[in-house]
Amino acid sequence: MATLLIKNIGTLVSGDISNPILKANALLIEGGLIRAIGEEKDMDMNGVEQVLDIQGMTVTPGLIDSHCHPVFGDFTPRQKMLDFIESSLHGGVTTLISAGEVHLPGRPKDVAGTKALAILAAKSFANARPAGVKVIGGALILEPGLQERDFEELSKEGVRVVGEIGLGGVKTPKEAASMVKWAKKYGMIVMMHTGGTSIPGSSTVPAEDVIATNPDIISHINGGPTAIPLQEAEKLVRNTSLSLEMVHCGNPKMIVEVMRIVKEVDGLSRVIIGNDAPSGTGVIPLGILRVINFISSLCGIKAEQAIAMATGNTAKVYRLNRGMIEPGREADLVIMDAPMGSVGKDALSAIEAGDIPGIAAVLIDGEVKIGVSRNTPPPNRKIIIKKH
């Protein structure tokens, strides 16, 4: 992997919500990892093969979609569409986390079948990254009859996530709680569906059930797509310290209502952002950028903090070595700017004004995967790439 310098950075968004902007104008990348952050004049140019002069634009960590429903490869049977993952790369997404391969036609609902699906999807996505995007696939769907030894085996085989509890046959906290304990014991991260049902067969989950089940993540607290009543959401925000997921395919009014309470309890570091696509709402390549926009422009949150909710906050929950601009982290990056015609003068002021920023390039493991996005409006400035 090439050694690369990114210079003339106007704004460097860290992904760390407690320190969201770094003072630096250059980034040095080596072996797919961030090696140095600082001033261009201080960078060791030995071995640098490529220089990206980004003309004062903004660099952010690659966006992490905390809630995706892939099946296998870059095809979704839900909307019969190809290349939806490549399309979200054009929306700045470099990592997708499966919340359950629930759209598999004929999805098996027995113990052997649900395990097989999780293991196969985890291994398949580990071996093949659609368009370069890192997919954490194989989110186990909980079905009655799973035993502790199954979680041990699943973990050993590379399954890292329990998909939204409520999608499978395990519906009550009584059934789920021991499975959640086993999952956590073997290092898995647990999501739980809240709100009304989105597909026939999945169930409604009230706040008490979530608290009794004790997952890591309250999936789509703003609805998926139907939201729980605000009082229920308020209980979850105030009476737990669980991660709070806001999704695009949810209820936008609830983003505003819930964020108001999140601000009151100083809970910005608990918020993560997902798309919850492909779903009945569709496939929305700019879904993560749009939720960042909603949270920033409608809820009075700084753009760099909203970006941290789709990068560093999510990386922390899922224990990923990315999502933050820090030496040693994977160099998954987005270079963005105000879009042409925006009242914003740079990416962050455009987001705060409610405009989707223009993406000028996306890097994964320090390699430029795309230049100017085919999906966002065009950025004001252009990158100048030079061999060194």
Q: Rank residues 87 and 219 by Cβ distance to Zn ion and give the closer one.
A: 219
Minimum distance, C-beta of residue 195 to Zn ion, in the bound complex (Å): 7
Minimum distance, C-beta of residue 203 to Zn ion, in the bound complex (Å): 10
Tell whether residue 316 is a contact of Zn ion (CB under 5 A): no
Minimum distance, C-beta of residue 141 to Zn ion, in the bound complex (Å): 11
- Three-state SS string across the chain, please? CCCEEEECCCEEECCCCCCCEECCCEEEEECCEEEEEECHHHCCCCCCCEEEECCCCEEEECEEEEEECCCECCEECCCCEECHHHHHHCCCEEEEEECCCCCCCCCCCCHHHHHHHHHHHHHHHHHCCHHHCEEECCEECCCCCCCHHHHHHHHHCCCCEEEEECCCCCCCHHHHHHHHHHHHHCCCEEEECCECCCCCCCCCECHHHHHHHCCCEECCCCCCCCCCCHHHHHHHHHHCCCEEEEECCCCHHHHHHHHHHHHHCCCHHHEEEECCECECCECCCCHHHHHHHHHHHHHCCCHHHHHHHCCHHHHHHHCCCCCCCCCCCECCEEEEECECCCCCCCHHHHHHCCCCCEEEEEEECCEEEECCCCCCCCECCCCEEEEC
Minimum distance, C-beta of residue 39 to Zn ion, in the bound complex (Å): 45
Pick the stretch among 13-21, 70-78, 185-193, 277-285 that binds Zn ion (CB under 5 A): 185-193
Pick the stretch among 73-81, 161-169, 232-240, 246-254 that binds Zn ion (CB under 5 A): 161-169
Q: Rank residues 100 and 377 by Cβ distance to Zn ion and give the closer one.
A: 100
Q: Rank residues 5 and 84 by Cβ distance to Zn ion and give the closer one.
A: 84
Minimum distance, C-beta of residue 167 to Zn ion, in the bound complex (Å): 7
Minimum distance, C-beta of residue 129 to Zn ion, in the bound complex (Å): 25
**Which of 40, 101, 150, 164 contacts Zn ion by CB under 5 A?**
164
**Which of 193, 235, 322, 381 contacts Zn ion by CB under 5 A?**
193
Tell whether residue 224 is a contact of Zn ion (CB under 5 A): yes
Q: Rank residues 25 and 194 by Cβ distance to Zn ion and give the closer one.
A: 194
Q: Rank residues 216 and 355 by Cβ distance to Zn ion and give the closer one.
A: 216
Tell whether residue 171 is a contact of Zn ion (CB under 5 A): no
Interface residue list for Zn ion (CB under 5 A)? 164, 193, 224
